[in-house]
Structure 1
Amino acid sequence: MPSHATPTITPGRTWVLLILGGIVTVFVVFAAIYVVNLPRPANTPGLDAGARPAPTESPAPEPVTSPTAVVAPGTPQPSSCAEIYSPAMKQAFGDLVLNPKWTTQPGADVGDGAYDPELVAVITSSEHLTCRWASPAGPSGSGVDTSVVWLSPEQTTTVTERLAELGYGCYEELGGLRCLTESETGGLLVGESHFLRGGVWLATRYTNAGPDGYTHDIINTLWAGT
């Protein structure tokens, strides 16, 4: 059989192949760099959290307000303590005077018409007028304080339920609800009288004082002619 000769590559051909290989390599490298540097879409996983839109904050809740009294037409609205008593009652207290100066001083030892903290909280947080009969010389063992308080229907329910919880004797009188309590401690006669009618609360507490018919006089004065 005839023998085959081994093919030979000339030097010129070798250089051509090397140049072509170099061009291909450069092309591949540039293509890879181009692909790596392409911009990623916004939803590409793995982006920094700081590059994502921050969630919007939920609006703050609206504050809850307590119900306020809406004074109906015809409801008594005295603007001063002088308007809640008859002339006869003003003369019946003897040595006690209405709202002596010391009772208006900061830190004065005075009351608002009730001893129970829950009832006092309703009085002080509501529109009210407080009138105090006391010694002009300062705190003593005798006195009366009354608050005329304007209540919402919800507050009226709160007060009447609290009076029942405290065990005060309550009954219907003069078109409203009257509640009473009285006790004697250490020689002191201490009591309370409460009257609720038409969104108005007359809250009274007393110590060794209080002419007969005191609450009736206020009712007849405020609701005169009704």
Structure 2
Amino acid sequence: MKARTAPIAAGILLAALLVGCSPSGPSAPDDAGDAGSTSPEPSASPSESGTPGPAPTPPTITMPTDCRAILSEPLLDLLEDVPLNDKAFAPNGVQEDGSLICTWGDPRADTTRLVTIISVERRGPALDMLNDLAAEDGFTCYQPDAGIRCEKTWESEEYPVTDGRTLYWRDDVLIDTRYSNLAPPGYTSDIVLHLFGASTPTPTPTPTETPAA
């Protein structure tokens, strides 16, 4: 389902945030954190003999393998009655490429679902995607905890509930969450804390509508 288009101001905001940290721009200041100071990975290209170039460098953190282990007890308590990774929503869990899919939802319900995909996403493609979401789809983006976060909510076209999407990118790791009528407060921030540890305080975003997840 495609969300309604929001004002283009969000795209302008992201463009300002990413000045100096786009793949072709200069390095961001040291206080921007690892997400702003990491150099883009060059594309691997075959040599003249046809031998493939070096494999991409793995992310700086260990990719998670357990959907419950990336959440604190308070968040797990909020989701206590919600089934996790039911077979009806496959694929779930650890994928062949190392990504992790966590699906919270009851297959008997028409809505009320929370799906998070944690994957490796290199700097260049990640920034391109976030810029597109801000410029074309009206996502609001800002820079908390040494990373980049983009988010948007909208009213479901099928049910009287709120749907939304929240993305967070840092150090070549992307946390991408889509939800419908299920947005535990602090959900994404909780995952960030468990993956990267404590960081700088999160600034208050400026959108008129702020997703809980």
Normalised by the length of structure 2, the TM-score is 0.59
What residue number does 1:88 align with?
74
Deviation for aligned residue 1:159: 2.0
Query: Equivalent residue of 1:202, what SS?
Result: strand
Q: Distance in 1 between matches of 2:151 and 2:64?
A: 24
The answer to whether structure 1 residue 193 and structure 2 residue 180 are counterparts is no
Q: Kindly indicate whether the alpha-carbon contact (under 8 Å) linking 2:71 and 2:194 is maintained by their aligned counterparts in 1.
A: yes
Matched, 1:184 2:155: yes
Is the helix fraction higher in 1 or 2?
Answer: 1
Note closer, same or farther for the CA distance 1:93–1:69 as it changes in structure 2 (3 Å cut).
farther
Shift of 1:195: 0.6
User: Structure 1 residues 203-212 or 76-85, which shifts more?
Assistant: 76-85
Q: Residues of 1 paired with 2:50 and 2:131: CA distance?
A: 29
Query: How far 1:174 moved relative to its partner?
Result: 1.4
| Matched letter for residue 127 of structure 2 | T
Aligned length: 147
- AA partner of residue 111 (structure 2): G
Is contact 2:117–2:175 with CA below 8 Å preserved after alignment? yes
Q: Which amino acid aligns with 2:57?
A: V
Structure 1 segment 1-226 matched on structure 2, within 5 A: 69-73=56-60, 75-104=61-90, 127-135=98-106, 137-164=107-134, 165-185=136-156, 186-225=159-198
Q: Taking CA–CA contacts closer than 8 Å with sequence separation of 6 or more, which of the two structures ends up with the larger relative contact order?
A: 2
C-alpha deviation, 1:96, in angstroms = 1.1
1:210 Cα offset (Å):
1.6
Q: Give the conservation status (yes or no) of the 8 Å contact 1:68–1:126.
A: no
> In structure 2, what residue type is equivalent to 1:194?
L
Structure 1 alignment gaps of length 5 or more: 1-60, 111-123
Which residue identity lines up with residue 151 of structure 1 in the other structure? E
1:26-84 CA distances to partner (integer Å, 9 max, x unpaired)? Answer: xxxxxxxxxxxxxxxxxxxxxxxxxxxxxxxxxxx96999x9752243x2411222221
- Residue 194 of structure 1 and its aligned partner are, at CA, apart by 0.7
Distance 1:159 1:64 in 2: 27
Amino acid at match of 1:219: V
Report the CA distance between 1:88 and its aligned residue.
Answer: 2.0
What is the deviation of 1:155? 2.1
Larger of the two Rg values belongs to structure: 1
Contact persistence 1:68–1:151 (CA under 8 A): no
Q: Letter of the aligned partner of 1:92 in structure 2?
A: L
Please state how far the C-alpha of 1:205 moved relative to its aligned partner: 0.6
| SS of the residue 2:125 aligns to | helix
2:25 maps to what in 1?
Answer: none
Map of 1:31 onto structure 2: none
Higher alpha-carbon deviation: 215-224 or 200-209: 215-224
Q: Identify unmatched segments of 5+ residues in structure 2.
A: 1-48, 200-213
Kindly state the Cα deviation for residue 153 of structure 1 after the two structures are TM-superposed: 2.4
Contact between 2:59 and 2:120, CA under 8 Å: does it hold in 1?
no
Task: Assess, with a 3 A threshold, how the Cα gap between structure 1 residues 69 and 204 changes in structure 2: closer, same or farther.
Answer: farther
Deviation, structure 1 residue 196: 0.7
